[in-house]
């Protein structure tokens, strides 16, 4: 029943500020006040959070439950959430945009490992757009070359983040989770090449189903 609805939690692509979607690279929205629009429509309390931050919040409360860890959501793009001392780190409001670390020749982490780029590479090699799980199944020299290229950049990005934050764990979520253990092992192997810290940091898939939705629901308490 509508009267039993306490509020509405929203997990949205960022950057965000006070419920306003600013300029997300993968959404056709600019300076859209989704918080105000939903409050006007439903007459309920609305809380809005960056979607990757929402995943991190769900992992903090329901998933890994660590005090210091990093979440990377990998799919069409790359989002990030940072938990420090049991709290979500947002800097002055926009912190955690880890997908926009620059890795190679001016190209961002997101550009080099997101599924848009994977599809571009596979179209050049095979004449059709493929995603990581398709390339794993093909298991031929061309598909392996693409996977090696993508995992190299994943390793560089994750390894660099481990060096900076020294987290207890790195949690990977998003569409990439569907690729399974084979791809996770490839990512781990590449990341280890770039970590200089004298200890091994676990890298794992999120064990939560729909962590973004769960995190958004936790915004209403």
pLDDT band at 113 (very low <50, low <70, confident <90, very high): very high
Closest to 46 measured CA to CA, from 15, 21, 19, 17: 19
Mean pLDDT (whole number) for 4-26:
88
- Check residue 28 and give its pLDDT: 87
- Check residue 175 and give its pLDDT: 84
Q: Where are the domains of the chain?
A: 2-218
Is residue 14 exposed (0-12), middle (13-18) or buried (19+ Cβ within 10 Å)? Answer: buried
Task: Say how many CA atoms lie within 13 Å of 200 toward its Cβ.
Answer: 7
Tokens of 124: 């050049």
Cα 191 off chain centre by: 16
Residue 38 scores a pLDDT above 90? yes
Q: Residue 81 in contact with residue 57, Cβ under 8 Å? A: yes
Residue 127 scores a pLDDT above 70? yes
Q: Residue 166 in contact with residue 197, Cβ under 8 Å? A: yes
Mean pLDDT (whole number) for 65-76:
94
- Check residue 160 and give its pLDDT: 96
> What does pTM read for this prediction?
0.90
Answer CATH for 2-218 from 1.10.3720.10, 3.40.50.300, 3.10.20.740, 3.30.420.40 = 3.30.420.40
End-to-end Cα distance, the chain: 18
Residue 197 scores a pLDDT above 70? yes
To the nearest 10°, report the CA torsion of 55, 61, 64, 68.
80
Tokens of 153: 């950049």
- Check residue 96 and give its pLDDT: 87
pLDDT band at 1 (very low <50, low <70, confident <90, very high): low
């Amino acid at each position: 029943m509508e009267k039993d609805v306490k509020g509405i939690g929203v997990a949205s692509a960022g950057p965000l500020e006070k419920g306003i979607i600013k300029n997300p690279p993968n959404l056709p929205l600019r300076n859209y006040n989704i918080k105000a629009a939903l409050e006007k429509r439903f007459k309920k309390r609305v809380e809005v959070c960056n979607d990757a931050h929402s995943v991190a919040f769900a992992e903090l409360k329901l998933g890994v439950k660590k005090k210091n860890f990093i979440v990377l959501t990998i799919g069409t793009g790359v989002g990030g959430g940072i938990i420090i001392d049991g709290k979500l780190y947002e800097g002055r409001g926009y912190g955690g945009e880890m997908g926009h670390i620059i890795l190679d020749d001016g190209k961002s982490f997101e550009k080099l490992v997101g599924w848009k780029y994977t599809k571009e590479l596979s179209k050049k090699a095979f004449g059709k757009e493929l995603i990581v799980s398709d390339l794993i199944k093909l298991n031929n020299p061309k598909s392996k070359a693409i996977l090696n290229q993508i995992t190299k950049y994943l390793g560089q990005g994750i390894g660099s983040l481990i060096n900076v934050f020294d987290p207890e764990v790195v949690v990977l979520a998003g569409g990439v989770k569907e690729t399974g253990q084979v791809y996770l092992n490839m990512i781990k192997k590449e990341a280890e090449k770039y970590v200089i810290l004298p200890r091994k940091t676990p890298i794992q898939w999120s064990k939560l189903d729909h962590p973004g939705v769960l995190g958004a629901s936790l915004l209403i308490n």
